[in-house]
Amino acid sequence: MKKKIDHLTLAALLSFATAPAFAQNVMTSQDLLALPQPGPDRRVAYGPLPRQHGELTLPKRGAGPWPVVVLIHGGCWEAPWGPDHVRSLASAFVGEGLAVWSLEYRRLGDEGGGWPGTFEDVARGADHLRVLAETASLDLGRVVAVGHSAGGHLALWLAGRNRLPPDSPLRGAEPLPLLGVVSLAGIPDLRAAAHRSVCGDAIVRLLGGDTPGPGRMALASPVEMLPLGASQRQVCGALDRIVPPDLAFAYEAVARMKGDDVTSRVVEGVGHFELVNPASVAWPEVRAAVLSLLGLPVAAPVETR
């Protein structure tokens, strides 16, 4: 049954879709969706539910084993947004000689989405790389998570979930190790972002409503899980009106004090959506962040797809 979208949810979606339009020449979500979005090689289920699948795409040259990008799309954790709007980004990573495992997951508005289903799905989907590696030539020693917006939050969370209690269903039995995380306009501090109404009331609903259970923020917000124990690169747009860039710098300061390797970069003249557009001026920063974490040369592309 399709769930009714209330006015607060609608406000969050409209904010995600239209906020950057207030800045001249800044990309909107409609602009992003209009880009060519190549399909994946394979769609693979990692669980029995409709949203529990991912899109696997492999380089066309060479035999591997290929380093892997676990790509997590954004959209304010809301059901209407899926992996289709980051397929051009996935294709660009594949063109660099990287395998891409782009995750779909239950979100707000889906049956079981929010707490804890969204987190369980992202964890389960990432760990499914071990199954994929049985038939695909993947280098599981070189895996980075890349997430945009709400997906940036989930990518950071994914890096720190091994610090959750061993009996937590969010943690999983054996979390797949990550070399690092690239958070693109991510949301690293849920408490601060909720206070500033980032994504409307989506963060409150993600954690289970007006009175989320005790300790959920500590289990869900990357800043409260520090140190994550993995290198982190944050890339923001100077004109982002959806996720304020200062959230990234405040998080970086805390993470560094806790001992994590974190750097943040702001790309001038771009907003929220250019960060997942490989034809934008933000792409060199995104590309360099991913390749450097994987220990690959940044100066020239590995391959052209």
Q: Going from the N-terminus, what domains does the chain have, and what CATH number goes with each?
A: 7-293 (3.40.50.1820)
The rounded distance, in Å, linking the Cα atoms of 229 and 184 is: 19
Strands (E), 29-132: 42-45, 53-57, 66-72, 99-103
Q: Which pLDDT does position 11 carry in this prediction?
A: 38
Q: Which pLDDT does position 10 carry in this prediction?
A: 36
Residue 213 C-alpha from the chain's centroid: 24
- Whether the bond between 116 and the residue before it is cis, its omega within 30 degrees of 0, is yes
HSE-up of residue 284 (Cα within 13 Å, Cβ side) = 6
pLDDT lower than 50: segments of the chain:
1-23, 301-305
Q: Where are the alpha helices (DSSP H) in 19-86?
A: 29-33
Q: Which pLDDT does position 91 carry in this prediction?
A: 95
Using a cut of 0.85, tell me whether the model's pTM lies above it.
yes
Residues in the chain: 305
Residue 103 C-alpha from the chain's centroid: 9
What type of residue sits at position 264?
A: S
Query: How do residues 205-214 score in pLDDT, each as one tens digit?
Result: 999 876 556 6
